[in-house]
Amino acid sequence: MRGNVPLYEMRTPKSLPDALDLLHEEPGAWKPFAGGTDLMVLLEMGLLRQKNFLNIHGLAELRGITFENNRLTMGALTTFSSLQSHAAVQKHFPILVQAARSVGAVAIQNRATIGGNIANSSPAADSSPALLVYDAEVELVSKSGSRWVPYRDFHTGYKQTLMQPGELIKAIALSPVPGTSFYKKVGARNAQAISKIAFAGVTEFSRGQLNNVHIALGSVAPTPIRCFGTEAFLCGRKPDFKTISEAKKILSSEISPIDDIRSSSEYRLRVSLNLLEDFLFHVELDRKAH
Amino acid sequence: MFRKPPDFTYFGIIRAGRRQKHGGAGNRGPTPHCGTAGFFLLDFSAEIQDFEKMTQPSKSTECPLPLRKEGREKVTGRAQYVDDLTFPNMIFGTTVRSSVPRGRIRKIFFEGDIPWNEIVIVSAKDILGKNSVAHILDDQPCLADELIHHAEEPILLLGHSDRFLLEEARRNVRIEIDPLPPVLSIDDSLARKEIIWGKDNTFKSFLIQKGDVNQAWNKAHLVVEGEYVSGAQEQLYIEPNGMIAFAEPGGVTVWGSMQCPYYVHHALTSLFDLPKDKVRVVQTETGGGFGGKEDYPSILALHAALLSRKSGRPAKFIYDRAEDMAATTKRHPSRTRHRTAVTKDGRLLAMDIDFVLDGGAYATLSSVVLSRGSIHAAGPYNCPNVRISSRAVATNTPPHGAFRGFGAPQSIFALERHMDHIAAELGLASDEFRRRNLIQEGQTTATGQKIRENPDLEGLLKSALDSADYNKKSALFTKENRKPGQKIKRGMGISVFMHGAGFTGSGERFLASVAGIEATPAGKIRVLASSTEIGQGARTVFSQIASEALAIDFDDIEVVQPDTNLVPNSGPTVASRTTMVVGKLIESAALALKETLIQSGYLANSYTRGEFKNACANFIARTGPLRVFSQYQQPEHIQWDDEKYLGDAYGTFAWAVYVAEVSVDLSTFETRVENFVAAQEIGKVMHPLLAEGQIEGGVVQAIGYALYEDVLWKNGSMWNNRLTNYIIPTATDVPRVKVLFKENPYRYGPKGAKGIGELPMDGVAPAILNAVEFATGARVDRIPLLPEGLMKALQSPEQGRKMLRRGDK
Amino acid sequence: MTPAQKIIVTCTVNGERRVFNTFPMARLIDILREDASLTGTKEGCGEGECGACSILFNDELVNSCLVPAAHAEGARITTIEGVARGDQLAAIQEAFLEYGGAQCGICTPGMILAAIYLLRKSPNPTEAEIRVGLAGNLCRCTGYSKIFDSVLAACRKSGVL
């Protein structure tokens, strides 16, 4: 344990307005602390630079899952456990369920929150590819009000977001995307693994043609990404050998995997292309099954 | 509380060997000293008379199985591990280490806003005697003085009662080191551009020769070569290293997580130049060892004792996971080259083996690891000409050390991969090629050891293959793998191997282990041995042995906590020797204690448990303490030449055949072990649940070695020294292991038992990689095999063989 | 650097009311082991990977090395010390003894709490579900088989989980 615990302050606001007041009064001084599953690891390593934390964990305004008018709204403090067991999420957002199940293990899922996951802004964040394919939106609140931003714009660079000082994530909303879905997280083992590659895909498939294709990947670029180029190419096409071949080329130009402690750029690239292929085969098989 | 033994497969009890002629009824073995604490020299010729009794399943094995002796404490959280202990006035300790793999310390700065006068600081200058850790050699300093030979080398110890201040202090020590060019690989060490140890970077070398390999090459039908590489592996006991020391004037006591209390004792008496009775070492409940706590605790004990002495207070060191992984010992990386001559009908003609281990910066245990690895390098095969040329070389990395298998997993990995390659070149099936060469009773190993029992490897092979459904699955997988567009390919792989338990050659004779049995006035029995419970079940098996020998309740046996004030030196808890060697001593001591009571008239030949208790009580009240010790005597049949490194390396071997079934996902290149059969002949199964537990645990640990556990090096230090990045299997990653036991009692083990702790580590990796090659055609001769590596191997065979790992130094 | 202000944290541990005076970012594992002297909860990694520190926190399985003191206000905590009722072991503890689920024992407290949590949610789990439920608890000794056996056996026993 290398963190100097006595130096860390944590303030617990009584309500969301109190929290936002403090963030407004002392911009940049207080870092929101949700479930803590990322931050406490940094503390233990002695690498937690920020010393003042705003304990938002108890704020009821940031909790709750509703599904109304075909729209799912999750409070930022929704844990991965509550997410995966919610009936509407299970019914309409299978990729999100799979992603939630792939986070660490049960004890982590009970504490880690979806807001914390995206605020941490790692390219390997487990919820990101799912939120991207489902075209999620993020509600940000501050003392001066609230705004909704498309999740696809949320991550602006490696470990960077478009959040302004004084803002908190309040909720994430998404609507079902029709079609066949496919998700694969590749990690060093079947649980407790940071993703080497994560692939999420949803597409409609009728009369032999792909339509409304959504593809997102994690861990292959400085941020999680939607592969718009690949999607555009695939729309209206048959998933035959030629199409898949060409799609792979486009995908490889859209991602920029690196070598790091977990894996190699070559492996990440190759597997991303394989997963694209698997996605499209799966779509074919899925259609044949129905 | 007892339960019925579980169902598991016995292959029958095969009576081994010939009956020995011995004296008649009058010859009942050595006469015990009556009336006082007796000290026995265990004479094995006398032991043989009990041999027939041993091979019959005793009444007790038909009784319900005893539960783990300390199980209740463990499942309730009451077991006391070292970090659970606190002492009044205690300080915490931390270690300032080198970040540079090789260099010369120029200056040390104490910086930052730290109250340095409050911090206890220990350096090499505080060591009054010889600044070295007593191992086999004394080349490893306890604290670095001027020269640095590896990253993470300890330089200073700091102490304070405030843990947080202590860590701040550690960060604010700046050490200026003038770097020197480090040697960071086996190749660089062998190239000798820099000499970093001795005259030529070589800690130890062996040459084992049988017959003459040189005359075989031109007689061969085929000569097959191969090179095999294995990486380091972290033991990853879930309880990190820890030690508490209290140095008082003229003496020191340490408590801690360890496997070998008397090794620690020796290190302390040596460094502090203290008489033996002024040093006390106590083993606390230990959360896993696997060899990682064989020699390292000696270093930690010295550190804790130094800090305690300087501060005048008890000093506690608990490593966090990152420090433990980076700074303590790991399995020796290896490189093995095989050159093998075979005849047209697939018989081994000559095996020429070059085996190199990376020992890290200091000698520590490398010579012994090299020894065991070398002796096992030619495997359980009959080959008339063998040459094993081996070396352990120095690099500027933290010294490597003991890890379950101790050199054999490395050399057996190479051999069993190589056997598959030879089979392929000959056009023979993997199992058939091995079948033609399996060693038999009367034949000799590479060291010329004559096998004096029937290993029946052919029978074991058949059992294993049948249990794994090998033939049917092989045919099915071959067919299915050929289907176009098949994304999941499957394969089967086998390995055949052995493991010699106990110290090699004359090692047990030099250890001259002693274990004892003592009766209490209440008629309970205490087992006295320095062997440590580290999860393997030593306490339970010792209690079982003693209770059966004395025909008393398991619950009336106490195994005394290993405390050098209280127990004799029964040797280290390593080398798969605890049941086979020490258990045997306990059995003899118990039998002798019983004899003492009978011969001195306190007990009849046949008695009830109540009568036994009374006999003890009466003996102690009227005569004195009732304590019997038994000392190891090497069985006469073990003949070993240390000079030539030939003869009987071990009393016996446990024999094994392992079968791996894998699936490989060609989208992600991930290999999954779907099923695994581990079949072994282990003499006698003492406690089925514990024995199975050893095999199951060892196999899974070895699956980690084969497929998951990659030590990445960055400038001579472990880069991925956190559990997030050093990957061991979780409950979702490994199959259940199908364990098959065969019995063939070894006359010198208690009830015929052989050692088994390390065996399961030896044969898993090659079986898996053989299966991967079956499945995909990818020839990979390097472990760990990660998906990234398999991908490269499938891209090009050449690349597969030479693939670079990420983070290669 | 000036230290933070200590806080008072009132919570229930194994049914007993406890009041801790501690730093807000002190780890729950340290509060339990040191302030409450409940050393049954073990630290194997400090990073939420090994699960040796698993406890029940408001009826949920969590890694106590990742929970800050400030979150423990009003919490209901169960550690391994709260599992047995006096001398009466819970069914899962008995099963671990009978089926060899514990070897060195260091992962055992966390493993037992993870098993209890699993069985409360899923009283008759398949082996696949057991594996997932215990995926966050690393064991280096057993290879997991006898842990699965122990959990399956506990299901069959009636009585206190």
Print the domain residue range for B626: 8-75+513-632
Q: In this complex, do A266 and B729 lie within 8 Å of one another by their Cβ atoms?
A: no
Q: Which residues of A touch B322 (CB under 8 A)?
A: 2, 45
What does the mean pLDDT of chain A come to? 97
Q: Residue B13: in which H helix or E strand, if any?
A: strand B10-13
Q: Are residues C61 and C97 in the same domain?
A: no
**Chain A residue with the nearest C-alpha to that of B792:** A267
**Chain C residue with the nearest C-alpha to that of B404:** C141
Distance CA B90, CA B71 (A): 30
Question: Which residue in this structure is represented by tokens 């790692």?
Answer: A122
E strands along B713-775, which residues?
Answer: 713-714, 717-718, 737-743
What are C57's strand-pairing partners? C60, C77
Would residue B288 count as lying in a domain?
A: no
Percent with pLDDT over 70 in chain A: 100
Q: Are residues C26 and C47 in the same domain?
A: yes
Terminal-residue alpha carbon distance, chain B: 54
Print the domain residue range for C22: 7-82
Would residue B455 count as lying in a domain?
A: no
What are B342's strand-pairing partners? B222, B348
Would residue B541 count as lying in a domain?
A: yes
- Amino acid found at C42: K
Q: Which residues of C touch A108 (CB under 8 A)?
A: 48, 63, 66, 136
Report the predicted TM-score, pTM, of the whole model to 2 decimal places.
0.94
* Interchain CB contact of A209 with B (< 8 Å): no
pLDDT per residue as tens digits for the range B528-560: 999 999 999 999 999 999 999 999 999 999 999
Question: Minimal CA–CA distance to B432: which of B474, B479, B467, B478?
Answer: B474
Q: In this complex, do A267 and B669 lie within 8 Å of one another by their Cβ atoms?
A: yes
Which CATH number goes with the domain that contains B24? 3.30.365.10
Query: How high is the pLDDT of residue A288?
Result: 75
Question: Which residue in this structure is represented by tokens 């504490």?
Answer: A111
User: B30 preceded by cis ω (within 30°)?
Assistant: no
Q: How confident is the model at residue B63 (pLDDT cuts 50, 70, 90)?
A: low
Q: In this complex, do A261 and B719 lie within 8 Å of one another by their Cβ atoms?
A: yes
Which tokens sit at B395?
């690099």
C-beta separation of B573 from B260 below 8 A? yes
* Interchain CB contact of B70 with C (< 8 Å): yes
Sheet with A52-55: strands ordered across: A9-11, A52-55, A31-33
Residue in A184, A189, A277 nearest the CB of B730: A189
- Amino acid found at B659: V
Which CATH number goes with the domain that contains C57? 3.10.20.30
B269 CB contacts (<8 Å, ≥6 apart)?
B275, B276, B278, B279
Q: In this complex, do C136 and B730 lie within 8 Å of one another by their Cβ atoms?
A: yes
ipTM score of complex = 0.98
Min CA distance, B546 vs chain C (Å)? 21
Q: In this complex, do C61 and A106 lie within 8 Å of one another by their Cβ atoms?
A: yes
pLDDT per residue as tens digits for the range C4-61: 999 999 999 999 999 999 999 999 999 999 999 999 999 999 999 999 999 999 999 9
Answer whether residue B709 shows pLDDT above 60: yes
C-beta separation of B114 from B172 below 8 A? yes
**Chain A residue with the nearest C-alpha to that of B724:** A193
Instruction: Give me the sign of the Cα torsion angle C119, C123, C126, C128.
Output: negative
Best of C103, C113, C129, C146 to mutate (most B CBs within 10 Å, chain B): C103
Answer whether residue B60 shows pLDDT above 80: no
**Chain A residue with the nearest C-alpha to that of B720:** A261
Which CATH number goes with the domain that contains C122? 1.10.150.120
Question: Minimal CA–CA distance to C13: which of C70, C76, C58, C55?
Answer: C76
What's the number of domains chain C is made of? 2
Query: How high is the pLDDT of residue B56?
Result: 35
pLDDT per residue as tens digits for the range B337-353: 999 999 999 999 999 99
Query: How high is the pLDDT of residue A286?
Result: 80
C-beta separation of B242 from B82 below 8 A? yes
Q: Which residues of A touch B171 (CB under 8 A)?
A: 46
Q: Are residues C70 and C105 in the same domain?
A: no
Question: Minimal CA–CA distance to C140: which of B678, B700, B256, B540?
Answer: B700
Query: How high is the pLDDT of residue C158?
Result: 58
- The last residue of one of the domains, among C21, C54, C82, is C82
Would residue B136 count as lying in a domain?
A: no
Would residue B561 count as lying in a domain?
A: yes
Q: Are residues C11 and C76 in the same domain?
A: yes
DSSP for B564-628, written as a single string: TTTS-----S-TT-IIIIIIHHHHHHHHHHHHHHHHTTSS-SS--HHHHHHHHHHHHHHT---EE
Longest dimension (CA), chain A: 65
Min CA distance, C49 vs chain A (Å)? 7
Q: In this complex, do A190 and B163 lie within 8 Å of one another by their Cβ atoms?
A: no
Answer whether residue B62 shows pLDDT above 50: no
Would residue C2 count as lying in a domain?
A: no
Q: Are residues C44 and C105 in the same domain?
A: no
Best of B165, B668, B703 to mutate (most A CBs within 10 Å, chain A): B668
Query: How high is the pLDDT of residue B569?
Result: 98
Would residue B319 count as lying in a domain?
A: no
Q: In this complex, do C80 and B536 lie within 8 Å of one another by their Cβ atoms?
A: no
Sheet with B653-665: strands ordered across: B10-13, B737-743, B670-681, B653-665, B488-500
Distance CA B132, CA B280 (A): 20
Distance CA B625, CA B312 (A): 37
**Angle at alpha carbon of residue B225, lines to B223 and B226, rounded to 5°:** 160
Q: How confident is the model at residue B798 (pLDDT cuts 50, 70, 90)?
A: low
DSSP for B101-143, written as a single string: SSEEEEEEEE-SS--GGGSEEE-GGG--S--S--SSS--S-SS
Would residue C143 count as lying in a domain?
A: yes
Distance CA A93, CA B377 (A): 55
C-beta separation of B143 from B127 below 8 A? yes
DSSP for A158-194, written as a single string: TTEESPPTT-EEEEEEE----SEEEEEEE-SSSSS--
Min CA distance, C73 vs chain B (Å)? 24
Q: Are residues C11 and C38 in the same domain?
A: yes
Q: Which residues of A touch C57 (CB under 8 A)?
A: 110
Q: Residue C13: in which H helix or E strand, if any?
A: strand C7-13
* Interchain CB contact of A284 with B (< 8 Å): no
What's the number of domains chain B is made of? 1
Which tokens sit at C37?
């002297």
Q: Are residues C12 and C66 in the same domain?
A: yes
C-beta separation of B628 from B37 below 8 A? yes
Query: How high is the pLDDT of residue B64?
Result: 75
Distance CA B134, CA B126 (A): 17
Q: Are residues C75 and C130 in the same domain?
A: no
Best of A1, A4, A5, A57 to mutate (most C CBs within 10 Å, chain C): A5
pLDDT per residue as tens digits for the range B271-281: 999 999 999 99
Using only the alpha carbons of chain C, give its radius of gyration.
16
Distance CA B144, CA B97 (A): 9
pLDDT per residue as tens digits for the range A124-178: 999 999 999 999 999 999 999 999 999 999 999 999 999 999 999 999 999 999 9
- The last residue of one of the domains, among C28, C49, C82, is C82
Residue in A190, A262, A278 nearest the CB of B732: A190
Main-chain dihedrals φ then ψ at residue B329, nearest 5 degrees: -70, 155
The neighbour count for residue C114, using CB atoms within 10 Å, is: 28
Best of A1, A2, A44 to mutate (most B CBs within 10 Å, chain B): A2
Would residue C43 count as lying in a domain?
A: yes
Q: Using CB atoms within 10 A of its CB, is residue B601 exposed (0-12), middle (13-18) or buried (19+)?
A: exposed
Residue in A10, A81, A111 nearest the CB of C70: A10
Terminal-residue alpha carbon distance, chain C: 48
Would residue B19 count as lying in a domain?
A: yes
Instruction: Give me the sign of the Cα torsion angle A175, A177, A181, A187.
Output: negative
Q: Which residues of A touch B806 (CB under 8 A)?
A: 259, 261, 263-264
Q: Are residues C47 and C103 in the same domain?
A: no
Would residue B746 count as lying in a domain?
A: no
- DSSP assignment, residue B809? -
- The last residue of one of the domains, among C82, C109, C140, is C82
Would residue C53 count as lying in a domain?
A: yes
Best of A48, A49, A192, A269 to mutate (most B CBs within 10 Å, chain B): A192
* Interchain CB contact of B791 with A (< 8 Å): yes
